């Protein structure tokens, strides 16, 4: 897609967002206590970095602020089956619900899932037909079943952990936020994994309004940037919803001079998709393929809570748009030096 609104005409390279990450810093397990993770605080006013713990977030949020969370819930989106009449295992990863039983999926091995192939899972409890192969290699697959699809997924599917997590997850709820509500994501909105119910209650006691949007996270968010000029990268669309209650909370907060906090890049992308040029929001739903990279001016998000991201990823580019590339790269250099834990089960970062 083209440059987002407010982007200056200059070229940035994928390699501008590269950093060396020792493999042992990639977190393989969640911490026993969610809010015990470390918190790197980057102050955009002067580029200063402070090292705290996640529960210290409470000290930075002020009465009258609002904090916006993504309440999407990860579905057990990884299915193992085979083609009818064959025995070769076929893995299907559900990405996006297109409605009426049709899903956009990743399949492996792809050569076994050509158009027209019939698939079966769980001794026929679930069957499917490959309807088409997309230009990017994804499949459109229509599922056939009796009953409720999500209940069948609960029986047959498994949690689709990112490929950099090699360890087995003993408790699947640790890859869900404590406030997850609306099923539909293929990956967790991981910035929210650090919040506990006790921390949410403490925020409310301090006078912070909690608001929720839904953005169903597809794997397109994490798809590697292959083009060297980042503006040539195409984002996959993801479905979002903002209801009247959340829109009203954000509008009241801004009118009263409070700050809008986004928990995660998914909440940020949803808010920036919906906001008009003056930062006003209204209830709506739709599909967003917004790509935020340096030069973009944020319209509604004042502060951002996020995890540590993969080198050269669109998420690195988003936080570099929120701060500056130089500030972010220096903060990441310090995070590596201080042995922070990276990615989904890792530590957290606050951009003030």
Q: Mean pLDDT, consecutive 10-residue segments, the chain of 352 residues?
A: 47 91 96 96 97 97 98 95 93 91 92 94 94 91 94 92 87 95 93 98 98 89 79 88 98 98 97 97 96 95 97 94 96 98 97 98
pLDDT of 237: 87
Main-chain phi, psi angles of 94, to 5 degrees: -75, 130
Structure tokens at 117: 């192939």
pLDDT of 1: 43
Q: What are the DSSP E strand ranges found in 20-145?
A: 38-42, 49-53, 66-70, 72-74, 78-83, 89-99, 102-108, 118-121, 126-133, 139-144
Other C-beta atoms within 10 Å of 271: how many?
Answer: 25
Strands 260-263 and 66-70: parallel
Structure tokens at 328: 């972010």
pLDDT of 6: 46
Other C-beta atoms within 10 Å of 28: how many?
Answer: 17
What does the alpha-carbon distance between residue 224 and residue 213 come to, in Å, rounded to a whole number?
26
pLDDT of 160: 85
Residue holding tokens 């003056």?
A: 278
What does the alpha-carbon distance between residue 174 and residue 244 come to, in Å, rounded to a whole number?
30
Q: Are 199 and 67 in contact (CB under 8 A)?
A: no
What does the alpha-carbon distance between residue 23 and residue 1 come to, in Å, rounded to a whole number?
33
From residue 60, give the alpha-carbon distance in Å to each of 80, 98, 329, 350: 45, 40, 23, 10
What does the alpha-carbon distance between residue 240 and residue 72 come to, in Å, rounded to a whole number?
9
Q: Are 222 and 188 in contact (CB under 8 A)?
A: no
Q: Are 323 and 33 in contact (CB under 8 A)?
A: no
Q: How many residues does the chain have?
A: 352
Angle between helices 314-322 and 265-274 (to 10 degrees): 70
Q: Report pTM.
A: 0.90
Instruction: Find how far residue 149's CA is from the centre of its chain.
Output: 23
Q: Are 178 and 195 in contact (CB under 8 A)?
A: yes
pLDDT of 10: 57
Is the alpha carbon torsion for 278, 280, 284, 285 positive or negative?
Answer: positive
């Amino acid at each position: 897609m083209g440059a987002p609104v407010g982007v200056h005409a200059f070229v940035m390279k994928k390699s501008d967002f590269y950093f060396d990450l020792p493999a042992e810093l990639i977190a393989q397990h969640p911490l026993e206590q969610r809010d015990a993770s470390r918190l790197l605080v980057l102050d955009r006013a002067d580029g200063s970095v402070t090292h705290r713990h996640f529960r210290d977030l409470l000290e930075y949020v002020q009465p009258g602020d609002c904090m916006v969370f993504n309440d999407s819930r990860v579905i057990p989106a990884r299915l193992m089956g085979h083609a009818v009449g064959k025995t070769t295992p076929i893995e299907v990863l559900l990405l996006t619900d297109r409605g009426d039983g049709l899903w956009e999926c990743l399949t492996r091995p792809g050569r076994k899932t050509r158009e027209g192939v019939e698939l079966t899972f769980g001794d026929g409890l679930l069957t499917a037909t490959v309807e088409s192969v997309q230009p990017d290699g994804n499949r459109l697959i229509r599922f056939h079943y009796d009953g409720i699809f999500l209940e069948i997924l609960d029986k047959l599917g498994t949690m689709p952990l990112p490929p950099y997590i090699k360890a087995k997850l003993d408790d699947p709820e640790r890859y869900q936020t404590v406030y997850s509500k609306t099923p539909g994501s293929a990956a967790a909105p991981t910035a929210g994994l650090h919040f506990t119910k006790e921390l949410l209650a403490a925020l409310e006691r301090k006078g912070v309004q909690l608001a929720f949007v839904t953005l169903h996270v597809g794997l397109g968010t994490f798809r590697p940037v292959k083009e060297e000029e980042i503006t040539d990268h195409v984002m996959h669309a993801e479905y979002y919803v903002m209801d009247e209650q959340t829109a009203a909370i954000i509008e009241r907060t801004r009118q009263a001079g409070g700050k809008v906090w986004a928990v995660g890049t998914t909440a940020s992308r949803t808010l920036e998709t919906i906001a008009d040029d003056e930062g006003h929001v209204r209830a709506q739903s739709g599909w967003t393929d917004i790509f935020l990279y340096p030069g973009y001016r944020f319209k509604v998000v004042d502060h951002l809570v996020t995890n540590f991201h993969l080198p050269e990823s669109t998420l690195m580019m988003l936080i570099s748009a929120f701060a500056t590339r130089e500030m972010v790269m220096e903060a990441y250099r310090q995070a590596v030096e201080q042995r922070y834990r990276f990615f989904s089960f890792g530590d957290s970062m606050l951009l003030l």
